[in-house]
Amino acid sequence: MSLLIRNARLLTLAAPAGAAPGSPRRGPALGELGVIPQGDVLVSDGRIAAVGAKVDAPADAEVIEANGRVLLPGFVDCHTHACWAGDRLEEWAQRRSGATEQELRQQGGGVHATVRAVREATQKQLASGLRDRLTLMLRAGTTTVEVKSGYGLTTEAELKMLRAIRRAATEWPGTVVATALLGQAYEGEPEEYARMVLKEMLPEISREFPDIPVDACCEPHAWSVDACVRLFEKARKHHPIRVHADQVKSLGMVPEAIRLFARSVDHLEASTKPDLVALAGSATIGVILPVTGFHTDQRYARAGFFVDQGGAVALATNGNPGSAPTYSLPLALALAVRHCGLTPAEAIVASTVNAAAVLGLSDRGRIEPGLRADLLLLHHKDERQLAYELGGNPVALVICGGQRV
């Protein structure tokens, strides 16, 4: 059965003339929403069948009257850690009382608290918890989500996480893209642990999850530049690579990520201007995560400067129990406009077209015939409300894979 959304303010985000399908937007194109002030979209067999000011539909099509409200592509959350167990509430309370990160780590807090909880959880429990979070994301308009491992730190536990992500993906109407975050932290001596990851963990991940993106975190409390480079040099023979960098301190990972043709560099809060200029001139996408700054240290990536240099920027929640406890891309979008220098239009493109490009997906993020029918009907008639409002859910209706959900 077909579905017709009628009389909507359409944000098609249609690709500019000559642009390769699925390529990230940059420069002036980053703010182009491809607006049809009043139009229709026909959905059939899970795909967008027709788009225009007036679309004819089969007599038996279900009709949704938009009454001028905004219709846009489903959000793509291209950076999350949504598979976890336990919580970090006590740690959060201690931070409010003045505890430092070093003190919390000495007490066994931080990422290692989640590592312990993940190791104690069964694969079924991890999948169930992730499925619940995916449901919350879907209600807020996220129809495609990336989910990382990284809370295992042993080969067995990392595989358990990735299997749980794969299981939850089959039980959710949207699309889940798994990432193997093999360089999240370390146990014992850092160099010895990194050697174990290269010699034991990576080969096992490659065998069971070929082509999965491989990620690492390059920060003073995580992996060094040298360790990340060794991992990526080996991993990129078979896997796309991504990297967390410059959240706390710029260590020099951005130039290496560019050299290694990383798909993205994520965080960028502490990136230097020369590194942002270099990143803007490369094919690597910069992913900003403003909820992290909001929840932790009030530091934000200079996305406006990055865009002005011609950079391709994407926007994500970084949903995780420690630094970004949220399921809402609308919240991330609102913070990106307030604190990172993006316009509302740029933030919308960053969380749809460009976020899809980070995940290597060219069949979504736009409203065009033939693409996957992931669509959001807002309560609002002006898309700027996405950035203006805080705390609510602007999404009136989610259509995922052509189905109302």
- What residue ranges do the domains of the chain occupy? 3-73+366-404, 76-358
- Average pLDDT for 328-353: 98
Q: pLDDT-based confidence at 101, cuts 50/70/90?
A: confident
Residue 19 is predicted with a pLDDT of 81
- Average pLDDT for 163-192: 97
The angle formed by the CA atoms of residues 134, 140 and 141, to the nearest 5 degrees, is 90
Give just the sign of the alpha carbon dihedral 395, 399, 404, 405: negative
Could you tell me if 282 and 258 are in contact, meaning their C-beta atoms sit under 8 angstroms apart?
yes
Residue 103 is predicted with a pLDDT of 75
Q: pLDDT-based confidence at 4, cuts 50/70/90?
A: very high
**Domain covering 3-73+366-404, topology:** Urease, subunit C; domain 1 (2.30.40)
- Average pLDDT for 204-229: 97
Instruction: Please say if the pLDDT value at position 106 is more than 80.
Output: no
Partners of 76 in the β-ladder: 144
Residue 91 is predicted with a pLDDT of 86
Q: What is the chain's mean pLDDT, rounded? A: 96
In CATH, what is the architecture of 76-358?
Alpha-Beta Barrel (3.20)
What radius of gyration, in Å, describes the C-alpha atoms of the chain? 21
Residue 41 is predicted with a pLDDT of 98
Looking at residue 298, the DSSP 8-state letter turns out to be -
What would the two tokens of residue 237 be? 């023979």
Residue 260 is predicted with a pLDDT of 98
| Alpha-carbon gap, residue 65 to 85, rounded angstroms | 41
Give just the sign of the alpha carbon dihedral 52, 55, 61, 62: positive
CA 232 to chain centroid, in Å, comes to: 20
The angle formed by the CA atoms of residues 92, 95 and 97, to the nearest 5 degrees, is 120
Could you tell me if 223 and 247 are in contact, meaning their C-beta atoms sit under 8 angstroms apart?
no
Residue pLDDT, tens place only, 108-151? 778 899 999 999 999 999 999 999 999 999 999 999 999 999 99
| Alpha-carbon gap, residue 43 to 403, rounded angstroms | 9
Our CA dihedral for 137, 139, 142, 145, rounded to 10 degrees, sits at: 40
Residues 6+ away with beta carbon under 8 Å from 275? 246, 250, 254, 255
* Count of CB atoms situated within 10 Å of the CB of 337: 24
> Do the domains spanning 3-73+366-404 and 76-358 agree at the CATH topology level?
no
Residue 1 is predicted with a pLDDT of 81
User: pTM of the full predicted structure?
Assistant: 0.97
